[in-house]
Amino acid sequence: MLVITILFITWPWFFVCLGGKIIKSPKIDIFSLNSTNNDTTEIHTICRITSDELIADAQSIVTRVSTKILDERFDLFEKKLNEIKDLVLQMNLQSLSVNLNDRKDKFIVKKNYEYLKTPRQFEIRKFNDTVNEILISNEYFKVYTYFWIIENMKNKLSNWRTGYSQRSNTFYIKQAGYGMYMKITPKYFPDGTIFIAVGLTKSHQDNKLSWPFILKLRIEILDHSPEELLRIDRSSRLWDPLTVCPTYFWQQPAIIGHPDNLECVGLSIPRDILHTGSKYLWNNSLYIKLIVYL
Ligand SMILES: *[C@@H]1O[C@H](CO)[C@@H](O)[C@H](O)[C@H]1NC(C)=O
Ligand SMILES: *[C@@H]1O[C@H](CO)[C@@H](O)[C@H](O)[C@H]1NC(C)=O
Ligand SMILES: *[C@@H]1O[C@H](CO)[C@@H](O)[C@H](O)[C@H]1NC(C)=O
Ligand SMILES: *[C@@H]1O[C@H](CO)[C@@H](O)[C@H](O)[C@H]1NC(C)=O
């Protein structure tokens, strides 16, 4: 059996590694080929540039190239294989190139997403659960940022009945102390509108905090387009607790009993923006960003 892949993913890595980035990169790790049995050969990440910025950069290129290439025919793949061999030789990685040669026509086919991090990964790693300053029309705002990844969206969108929801873990707004959660309802109305809400929940610091909660907040759905300039995150408006909902929703959460206040604000999105191949889905997951203005 002839099985193809992962190499599809890996050859652009070489391209990236050799495409001038080496010079800027502090360190490049090469991992070797791994043979699983006689018929299949699995290649793990072959080229990893150990600098956060460059990893993100490299991966976005991989994504773009690999999704395109996956649709192309095997003979093209074989051509790429030879290119890789040349690149490998240029890099003086003798043992790897020999292995590639030996196993030339034995590769596993696997869809790539499971292995690739979103082009937004750098941002997520850097800002998740942190306080930062952001610049909006010449003014700096101190904000807390939290990212929530909702997996297995296809199943939730097609099978979950109206009103059925999933809650995020509780998280605590750094420097402010409030406990919060988010909640997605894949089918909020029978027409299929998706709703992503945010609400307050109990925090061990509640007694020391001031009530009602008055911090402004917004939710964004991340766009995973490789090109940064082409990304358009779907954003809610900036909610001001003082004006959007009755104070009831922003009071101190119950000390005993159910810890969550009812949620009052949320972002609704039409179902069809999450079609197959949508730039708002990555690895069948939806990535939500919450920004709280401190
Ligand atoms: C190859 O796979 C085996 C078993 O999965 C693992 O123990 C080994 O470390 C792998 N070798 C490399 C070079 O990745
Ligand atoms: C691999 O091939 C050898 C010799 O052809 C055979 O003895 C062995 O059972 C094969 N191993 C697997 C995992 O198929
Ligand atoms: C893709 O999703 C699966 C399950 O939803 C998860 O286990 C895996 O880590 C994800 N891969 C990446 C690269 O995020
Ligand atoms: C964000 O940080 C929290 C707290 O450290 C963690 O539990 C959560 O998994 C992180 N989210 C992502 C998307 O990494």
pLDDT value at position 177?
94
Query: Which residues have a Cβ under 8 Å from the Cβ of 20 and sit 6 or more positions away?
Result: none
Cα(40) to ligand 2 centroid in Å equals 12
Asked if the 121-293 domain carries CATH number 3.30.420.40, the reply is no
Q: What is the pLDDT of residues 116-128, one digit of tens each?
A: 788 899 899 999 9
pLDDT value at position 79?
57
Ligand nearest to the CA of 106: 2
Burial class (CB in 10 A: 0-12, 13-18, 19+), 259: middle
How far from chain centre, in Å, is Cα 115? 12
Q: What is the pLDDT of residues 145-171, one digit of tens each?
A: 999 999 999 999 999 999 899 999 999
Cα(1) to ligand 2 centroid in Å equals 14
Regarding the beta carbon of 44 and ligand 1, being less than 6 Å apart is answered: yes
Q: Whose CA is nearest to atom 1 of ligand 2?
A: 38
User: What percentage of residues in the chain have a pLDDT greater than 70?
Assistant: 61
d(CA 182, CA 195): 10
Mean pLDDT value of segment 234-240: 93
Examine the pLDDT at 262 and tell me if it is beyond 50: yes
Examine the pLDDT at 139 and tell me if it is beyond 60: yes
Binned at pLDDT 50, 70 and 90, residue 189 comes out as confident
Pair of tokens at residue 103? 């196993």
Q: Which of 38, 40, 102, 106 to mutate to test the pocket of ligand 2 (most atoms within 8 A of CB)?
A: 38
pTM for the structure as a whole: 0.62
pLDDT value at position 38?
34
DSSP structure string for 41-61: EEE---EEE-SHHHHHHHHHH
> Can you give the residue ranges of every domain in the chain?
2-50, 121-293
d(CA 24, CA 72): 32
